[in-house]
A and B are shown apart, each in its own frame.
Chain A
Amino acid sequence: MNDDELEESLRRAAELLDPVPVSLVEVAVEAFRFRTVDAELAELTFDSLAGTAAVRGPAQARVLGFGGPETGLDLEITGDGPSRRVVGQVTPAAHAVVEVRGGDPVSVSTDAFGRFTVDRVPPGPLSFRCRVGDAVFTTEWVTV
């Protein structure tokens, strides 16, 4: 077998022995219906797991920042087992409604300074939709 034939054999072997799980393809197809079309997207601007300097143990918090100085969301995620604790603050610091998009969707009201806590967040893809005053924004997805 030449290189191209050998590569094709590998491709056939992967299709047979390690195909994309059908359930995952279905989730990806479904993602279209749940996409954000009406809200501003707050990009991930800080992640304690980004970059090569990140060295941390499982007990430490993961710190995430989305958006900019005007509107955004800061998060601290702790816990390593089947459920996580998310502590966050919305910017501007005012009362807001925060929807968790992910494996266990839930909606919470923040205090007067935009602070909130959500417990028992399952591991997996996570995003937040925040409504503060007239502003609505959705964060980029992260894996927690």
Chain B
Amino acid sequence: MDIDSTGALFQAAAKGDATAWEALVGRLSPLVWSVVRAHRLIDADAHEVFQTTWFRLADNLTRIKEPDKVGSWLARTARHECLKVIRGSRRVVPTSDIDVLSPEADEHSPEQAVLEAEETAGREATLRGVWQAYEQLSDNCRRLLRVLMASPPPSYAEIAAGLGMAIGSIGPTRGRCLGQLRRLLA
């Protein structure tokens, strides 16, 4: 990720630039969504946590001291909200394959439509196979890999903030989990 330009977007948004805010949302929404998904909340809770996270950032625009670390701030905020929802006795259920494999039509992004048009049937089947193998991994592996899947790829600092894990343990865990995934795909 281009850290400098994320920081620059943040600073412009903090000065009132709505276009910079929109670009910031576009850039960091996949990270926030990945952190929320990694905590495997039910859909309604996942949507609410995502919204609360961005509302909080909007109200804190002029208070955040390290613009370059806004991704980590968002990841940490999303994680804390997820943990509270889980502690609040609200249900946590595995995201079912059906939910994920058949997203509602109105939730398709234009990018996704383009992506789908470009994908050959074979390529798409491969990705579905990768996803199904991912779903068979342990909770720990699914959690880490789901955050790694954010696009653009998150920094290790952002992953650590989103999962509450030590930066030093991310690399080894990643290697072990990708190894397990590769064996499932073999």
Q: Footprint of B on A, CB under 8 Å? A: 1, 3, 6-7, 9-25, 27-29, 31-37, 41, 47, 49-50, 54, 56-58, 62, 80, 123-125, 127, 138, 140-143
Contacts and interface: CB of A to CB of B under 8 A. Distances in A.
Contacts, number: 164
Contact of B128 (A13, A35, A50, A54): A13
Interface of B: 13, 18, 21-22, 25-26, 29-30, 32-34, 37, 44-45, 47-52, 54-63, 81, 84-85, 87-89, 95, 100-101, 103, 106-109, 111-112, 115-116, 119, 124, 126-128, 130-131, 134, 145-146, 148-151, 153, 174-175, 178, 181-182
A54 B89 CA distance: 11
A14 B109 contact: no
Contact of A35 (B61, B107, B153): B61
B126 A28 contact: no
Q: Name A's interface SS.
A: mixed
Q: 4 shortest A-B CB distances, which residue pairs?
A: A35-B58, A28-B54, A14-B149, A125-B52
A127 to B, nearest CB: 7
A113 B85 CA distance: 31
